[in-house]
Amino acid sequence: MHLIIAEKHIAAKRIASILAPDKPKNVRVSGVDTYEYGTDANKTISMGLSGHIVGVDFPKSYNNWQKVDAKLLIDAEIISTPTHVKIISALKKLGKEATKITIATDYDREGELIGAEALDIIRKVNPDVPFDRVHYSAITPKAINDAFSNPTTVDFNLADAGHSRQVIDLIWGAALTRYVSISAGRLGNMFLSVGRVQSPTLALIVDREKKRDAFIPQPYWEIFATLSDKDKDKDKETFLTQHKTKRFQDKQEADSVMAKVSTIKNAVVSSVVKSTKIDKVPTPFNTTEFITAASSIGLSPANAMRIAETLYTSGFISYPRTDNTVYPESVEMRSHIELFKVGGPFKQYAEQLLKKAELIPTRGKKETTDHPPIFPASLAKQSELKEDEWKVYELIVRRFFATFADPAEWETMRVKFDINGEEFKVNGARLIVPGWRWYYPYNAPEDRLLPVLQEGDSLTVDKTEIVDKETTPPSRYGQGRLIRIMEELGLGTKATRHDIIGKLYSRAYVHGNPIQPTRTAYAVVEALEEYANTITKPDMTSKLEEDMDKIAEGNIKEDDVIKESRKMLDSVFEDLEKNKEDISESLRTGLREDKVVGTCQKCGSQLMIRRSKRGSRFIGCEGYPDCNFSLPLPKSGQVIVTDKLCEEHGLYHVRIITPGRRPWDLGCPNCNFIEWQASQEAERAKRPKTPRPKSISDIAGVGKVTAQKLADAGIIKVDDFIETDAFELSKKTGITVKKIKGWQDAAL
């Protein structure tokens, strides 16, 4: 029996459907779907894994964070642990019967390691089974048939490189996370994640925000003049010009110029310079370029890669994890373009390209041999894809077409005007040859059209104005831009960068896009930068990335790189241990700031995010018990205090982050609570009126024990109960404020 092992279930199913002469039979083995075809004497079974089916971990004796020192994890034993018991069981059962194994996982470090893990499990039950490896960049009939016709061998060096990353990331992440979390007193679900790639990336974001915090706006002034053709009364063309001094730093100088031009009604064209600008054809998509483009159309890196992975396993696009920006000669591009001639929204574009005698694509700076750039592998119909899937597919198709197109051309015009001796300027541009922009219209600059102008022409000055402005701080990083910077600094890989950014969001270190760090992020980065700054710099982690590349090339042994990484981490811990108390104080102080929501309007103390004895969260006053002001918070989700301030209540807006859901911008907690109360009041008004309770025990939910507690607190009559302050009554009775308010509402 020939056993084919793919990385995922859908890939195994598609491979079987391509290779089988008839429809393959679905057979469950140990609870896992497999796809079988052929006769008993010549049977083939295709099965999918679920990514990694084994992981790396420490022995259970290291699990207790309080009892086992974080530093002991640096040199701890690393063990393999099963993560998908049913798949492993199916592998063993089928592997024992197999006469040949073909590894058909994705061709990259992770894919090679996943394949090697599966092979290792099989060889324990069938040591001498022959095996081979197939490489493909798209799950299409041609690509799969070509791959199985030209099998190669498993690259164990590449698998070792993937395994070394798992081990190094485990050791660094676990040791540093445990140390920092214990130092900060943040355990359980609120632990502070620290990592080899994650922390330098977070430092980039925090350092950028610090530059914004330190930025002092400087005033400047701009002077504009609106001009029109004086010979036209109707349909006259107006356009805006700006003084040649774009930014006046001196207000007196700006006022002086304004005084000269403000009463003048005539402008003379002093110069007209026309030229042509060539708009270069874009290069093919690699992962970073794709993520950047997807970000510009509203898709996060994680979402873009998830969708691209779905399109790949469905056979619609090529493998989306690639550094390559040069199409290999082995890929017949004309035939791929011809796929789109049959009809659909891309037909006219394909037909136009195919008119070219030669199809010569652009070439980017990066050329690799593992996978081609991302391109459409087959024709998809809009009706068979979800909205976001079609959005990504269309982006990839259009980029693919654009790489074969001609440059775009713009006609530009730079015009100067004289207004009472002061020079004003305007630039115009008009797309005269659409070229590649016809195929790929994303982020296209708009035409800036000007009327026909010649030197010496006289125009009417309709309006002059001076505009007060201020310099702006450096912009925050968008996710696409951050991934590009990570690539430049050697932080992470094409397959991991978007996941790293995703972790920063899930750990509530950052929020929003562009990316904004929380006070927790400040606290962690500031403590590490001051006392162990090698963790926050890209140098060490990029050195490890280079070493992992050398493992893949067969130039270094995996054990040597892991050993070296342990030494690096040892030196980091020396710095941490020297400054243990300072780090703890720095972290705890910084984390406390992340809980401050604003100032209490009742007493002037700080309002903080707090937890009750029962674990529920609320915003409470530091002046308690003298001040009992509080506001409710949602039961679940991470609470993020943003920098947006409510002018009415002096509270910062709050955002709730829940994994797997869109962030909820709750806004000002006080405004939100008032709005909620109003909605409850409106809801009550709609309900049929019920008789008002005559006694405390008639209120729904109030039993004899509760009624006695209220009586002991002096509450006998319903009117007294309704008028009593819920916070004060809560202190006297021990009943929660929420319950008391609910009963008061019910009694109205």
Q: Which residues are catalytic?
A: 319
* CA gap 46, 598 in Å, rounded: 60
- Give the residue carrying structure tokens 């058909």: 104
DSSP string spanning 373-440?
A: PB-B-S---GGGS-HHHHHHHHHHHHHHHHTTSPPEEEEEEEEEEEETTEEEEEEEEEEEE-GGGGT-
Distance CA 747, CA 482 (A): 56
- Say what angle helices 109-125 and 85-97 make with each other, to 10 degrees: 60
Q: Give all strands of the β-sheet with 630-632 in edge-to-edge order.
A: 596-599, 606-611, 617-621, 630-632
Q: Is 269 exposed, middle or buried (0-12, 13-18, 19+ CB in 10 A)?
A: middle
Q: Considering Cα of 110, then 111, then 112, then 117, what sign does the dihedral take?
A: positive
Angstrom distance (rounded) from CA 459 to CA 448: 19
Cα angle 496, 507, 505; round to 5: 60
SS3 66: coil
Q: Which of 406, 338, 416, 403 is nearest to 375 (CA)?
A: 403
Of 394, 173, 392, the C-alpha closest to 298 is 392
Tell me the C-alpha distance between 405 and 565, whole Å.
Answer: 47
Residue 376 Cα distances to 42, 313, 395, 525, angstroms: 34, 12, 10, 42
CA dist., res. 389 & res. 395, Å (int): 10
3-state secondary structure 351-387: HHHHCCCCCCCCCCCCCCCCCCCECECCCCCHHHCCH
Alpha-carbon gap, residue 231 to 417, rounded angstroms: 17
Q: Who contacts 572 (Cβ-Cβ below 8 Å, separation ≥6)?
A: 176, 532, 534, 535
Query: Is the four-CA dihedral 512, 517, 519, 520 of positive or negative sign?
Result: positive
Residues 222, 247 contacting (CB under 8 angstroms): yes
Query: What are the beta bridge partners of residue 227?
Result: 239, 461
Name the packing angle between helices 479-489 and 301-313 (round to 10°).
80
Residue 363, CA atoms < 13 Å, CB-side half-sphere: 8
Query: CA 148 → CA 19, 144, 565, distances in Å?
Result: 9, 6, 39
Length of the chain as a residue count:
748
In sequence order, the 6+-apart residues with CB closer than 8 A to the CB of 563 are none
Residues with Cβ < 8 Å from 156, sequence gap 6 or more? Answer: 116
| Token reading at 111 | 């894919």
Peptide bond into 514 cis (omega under 30): yes
Q: Is the dihedral of CA 96, 100, 105, 109 positive or negative?
A: positive
DSSP string, 30-42: TTEEEEEES-GGG
Burial 123-154 (b: 16+ CB within 10 A, else e): eeebeebebebbbbbbbbeebbeebbeeeeeb
CB 593 within 8 A of CB 184: no
Cβ neighbours, 10 Å, residue 694? 10
